[in-house]
Amino acid sequence: MPIQAIQMTLTQTLVMGLLQIVVVLIAVFIMVPLLTFAERKVIGYIQVRLGATRLAGGHVGITGPMNRVMWSMGKVPMLSILRGLPIFIADALKLITKEDIIPAKADRGVFTLAPIISVMAAFGVFAAVAYYPGVMFYLPKGFPIVGGLPFQGFITDVNVGLLFILGLASVGVYGIVLGAWASNSKYPLLGGLRSAAQIVSYEVPLTLSLLVPVLLAGSLNFKEMSILLATGKGLHPLAIIPLFIGFFVYLTCGFAETNRVPFDLPEAETELVAGFHTEYSGMKFGFFYLAEYANMIVVSALATAFFLGGHYLLPFGLQRFIPETVPFLGQPSFIFFLGKVCFILFVFLWVRATLPRYRYDQLMDVAWKYLLPLTLVNLFIAALIRFAF
């Protein structure tokens, strides 16, 4: 979809940018709690239990009367599958109102700075993520200052977007390491050391696996890359091979980057109590929590955009087999993007419920002995396909 260059005044640009930032932030702040709810429910059902049930499914409270009526009619209340949904509000309230303790021997400044770095790195990445590469809709004419202007599906169109994302994402580890170090406590220290080693190691195969789409698309711009890789224009049919391998390598590294099972060593609760955030409480802990889930969303969005065909229906450049004239299925849609992101997020939860945790040295083995050679070979294949055919 071609994007017309529209002349905007400086004020309009600023207001438009602010508007988009607010929209993206709200979206993330909605998705993160929903994700925690989904985590409770998905893992609950996998483990033959119900997950969170304490709210909105019982006989008391705001929804109580409705539930009572439905039970008396012999029906299961329609909210019963969503029971526990409002728990994310309770979670947020708890985190905000809880006493914020700074240990006496901690480095106060760095201790406070660490969660801020973590959450900033996690949220800053969204600036370059194109969740829809084009105009999503036009603002109504009556809108103050920016009325009638197009609302685009990305905040900024950085021409080295991927580099920006990778750079900012790797800043996130400083939050963890500094927080662990500043706590001045033994378990967080071990967690922080593990985290530093782990994230630095996995950054290498992660970046190399993302080089495959970069090489194939010949661009670093998020928007251009996702369109090109999805539609498969100019891509050799064999390009599906490196993309397919790259996807799995990327996803594995993404699990490690976000400290999720089976790579959740920095916060392995059976070994390190709570890992790097053992000493954190209240909203400072909440920031780490937010950052982890925001990072999961970023990893899913990147995997979707570069490997799974982004906002088009079919992954790995298979979209070329559906002509653009086909309504809906042939057209780009935000729904496809969201659906794929949700699927990868589900995989995160699914894996968490299924797999045990790696040991520290095995984790390093996986990164350096298996993933790194695999990505290098994969990159070579991609280069061969790009330049030899």
Partner 1 sequence: MFKNEEMEINLGPQHPSTHGVLRVKLRLDGETVTKCTPIIGYLHRGVEKICENQTYFQGQVWTDRMDYVASISNNLGWAEGVEKLFGIEVPRRAKYIRTMLTEQNRLASHLLWLATHALDIGAMTVFLYAFREREYLLDLFEAFCGARLTTTAFRIGGLREDLPPGFIKSSQAFQDRFLACIDEYEELLTENRIWKKRTVGVAKLSAEDCIALGVTGPVLRAAGVPYDIRRAFPNAAYAEMDFEIPTRPEADTYARYLVRLAEMRQSHRIIQQCIDGLPEGPVMAKIPKILRSEVNEVYHPIEAPKGELGYYFVGEKGGTMPYRMHVRAPSFVNLQALSKMTEGRLLADVIAAIGTLDVVLGEIDR
Residue 273, classed as helix, strand or coil, is: coil
Minimum distance between the CB of residue 194 and partner 1, rounded to whole angstroms? 8
Class of residue 295 by CB neighbours under 10 A (exposed 0-12, middle 13-18, buried 19+): buried
User: Looking up tokens 């390009």, which residue turns up?
Assistant: 239
Minimum distance between the CB of residue 360 and partner 1, rounded to whole angstroms? 5
Nearest to 155, CA basis, from 120, 134, 135, 130: 130
Nearest to 27, CA basis, from 343, 341, 333, 351: 341
Residues 6+ apart with CB under 8 A from 330: 313, 322, 323, 324
Q: Are 240 and 319 in contact (CB under 8 A)?
A: no
Token pair of 315, please? 């992954």
Minimum distance between the CB of residue 47 and partner 1, rounded to whole angstroms? 4
Q: How many other C-beta atoms can be found within 10 angstroms of the C-beta atom of residue 74?
A: 6
Whichever of 257 and 264 has its CB closer to partner 1, that residue is 264
Nearest to 337, CA basis, from 309, 365, 364: 309
Whichever of 99 and 361 has its CB closer to partner 1, that residue is 361
Minimum distance between the CB of residue 354 and partner 1, rounded to whole angstroms? 6
Minimum distance between the CB of residue 344 and partner 1, rounded to whole angstroms? 20
Q: Which residues pair with 153 in a beta bridge?
A: 132
Chain positions contacting partner 1, by CB under 8 A = 43, 46-49, 186-187, 189-190, 193-194, 261-262, 264, 268-271, 273, 352-362
Whichever of 324 and 365 has its CB closer to partner 1, that residue is 365
Whichever of 72 and 270 has its CB closer to partner 1, that residue is 270
Minimum distance between the CB of residue 357 and partner 1, rounded to whole angstroms? 3
Whichever of 47 and 159 has its CB closer to partner 1, that residue is 47
Whichever of 188 and 309 has its CB closer to partner 1, that residue is 188
